Amino acid sequence: MSLFRLMFLLMGLGSALAGCSGAPGAGTVADRPDGVVKAGTLTFEVWLEAFRAEALATGILPYSLDLAFADVAPNPDVLERDRRQPELTRPIWSYLAGAVDEGRVARGRRMLERHGAALAVAGRGYGVPPEIIVAIWGMETDYGTFFGGFDVVEALSTLAYDGRRADFARSELLAALRILQNGDVAAGGLAGSWAGAMGHTQFMPTTYLNRAIDADGDGRRDIWGSLPDVFASTANYLAEAGWRGGEPTVEEIALPADFDWELAEVDIRVPTIERRLVEWRTLGIRYADGGALPATERRATVLLPAGNAGPAFLVGANFRALLDYNNATSYALSVAHLAGRLAGDGPFLAAWPVDEPSLTHDDGIELQRLLDELGYAPGPIDGIVGPMTRASVRLFQRDAGRPPDGFPTVALLDQLRRTHALVSGQGGASGTEPL
């Protein structure tokens, strides 16, 4: 639909649009000036009694529950972190700069050398390069130097009692109790993050139960103290997530001047625009260093993490396996880049648009609200710019005559405001606002 037709339609729906609230959804948390931790009208003690009954019904023993909950109380720090909304949406180039600095690269290379034998065993067993395993280790806990500092049972109890995703936290808490009962770790040793992620490479309890490996043969799957177990467990996770041995994780590319920006994928996790390398080659795509793509049948997707003004990459199944580990493009790209640096590769060649202003969380909410009121269906209005929002951004860009790369910017938000004002009759003129 053209922008003109869309504006015409929306003018006819002006009264309906006037009733849209634009307020955050049900995830919004009410202020708690007294600092008291409550879940509705239940006290923590009442909630815990109900949870104990649920845990007993799943086979957790009374003794295990008594031991696990001996000194547990709601942790306000966990709730504060759970509810914190960052003021700025951190741009990917800033995330990368912090995640893949020279110090982390140097430490990672030392770890590759120091633990080469155990890493080689894990790599051969699961088809995952040691550099990828070490990169995840570095990203998650800076090579085991910081596990998070929280008692996992207390953190998950707090989130299950009063968190944003109580059902998820409750299932993870049950899994944590199962780990303790199985004897894989002592009650005081279940250390992790405020969200319940554990050990050197930060497995959630359910992930631990499903994918952790006893590689050293001591009868325990020890992701806190046994590096062979850590490396094998991490590699096993990726293998079960679809890792393909022998394929690259990310390849920096150069796009031709006439590249169709709509061929770049907005949802890397579930791509709909995937081509064989021979097809991308035919379209004029080359490697960033000028080399030709191989004329092979391997399939890949074009990723533009900073839009048309930043670097471009080809990614495939292995990148999606990293997204399964942590569903953030910035994380997956950082792991892949760190692994490349550990293997001797240099930094990315293309420049990032570091002067591009960052969208705030409130900007993200406004962006989604305006897209929604203009009929572009961005999905939940929550300030999180995910695949649905990027797809709707692309549609607006196409109608507005911008490169349809799906990447939201401050300039795009400004044009959305002007277009919305024109459609709602506040602009004093008709037609499309000039770019």
Q: Where in the chain is the domain with CATH 1.10.530.10?
A: 250-342
Whole-prediction pTM value? 0.86
pLDDT at 31: 35
Detail the DSSP E strand segments found in 106-179: 150-151
Query: Which CATH code, of 3.40.640.10, 1.10.530.10, 3.40.630.30, 2.40.50.100, is assigned to 250-342?
Result: 1.10.530.10
pLDDT at 90: 84
Q: Is residue 424 a contact partner of residue 12, using CB atoms and an 8 Å limit?
A: no
pLDDT at 39: 53
* Spatial distance between the Cα atoms of 28 and 80, rounded to a whole number of angstroms: 13
* Spatial distance between the Cα atoms of 387 and 230, rounded to a whole number of angstroms: 32
* Spatial distance between the Cα atoms of 419 and 219, rounded to a whole number of angstroms: 64
Output the average pLDDT for the chain.
89
- pLDDT, mean of each 10-residue run, the chain (435 residues): 40 36 31 41 90 97 94 94 74 95 98 98 97 99 95 96 91 97 84 95 98 96 96 99 97 98 92 96 98 97 97 98 95 98 97 94 96 96 93 97 96 97 68 46
Q: Using H for helix, E for strand and C for coil, what is the string for 346-399?
A: CCCCCCCCCCCCCCEHHHHHHHHHHHHHCCCCCCCCCCCCCHHHHHHHHHHHHH
pLDDT at 123: 96
* Spatial distance between the Cα atoms of 165 and 158, rounded to a whole number of angstroms: 11
* Spatial distance between the Cα atoms of 415 and 63, rounded to a whole number of angstroms: 62
79 forms bridges with which residues in the sheet? none
Q: What is the pLDDT of residues 301-348, one digit of tens each?
A: 999 999 999 999 999 999 999 999 999 999 999 999 999 999 999 999
- How far from the centroid of its chain's Cα atoms is residue 317's Cα? 16
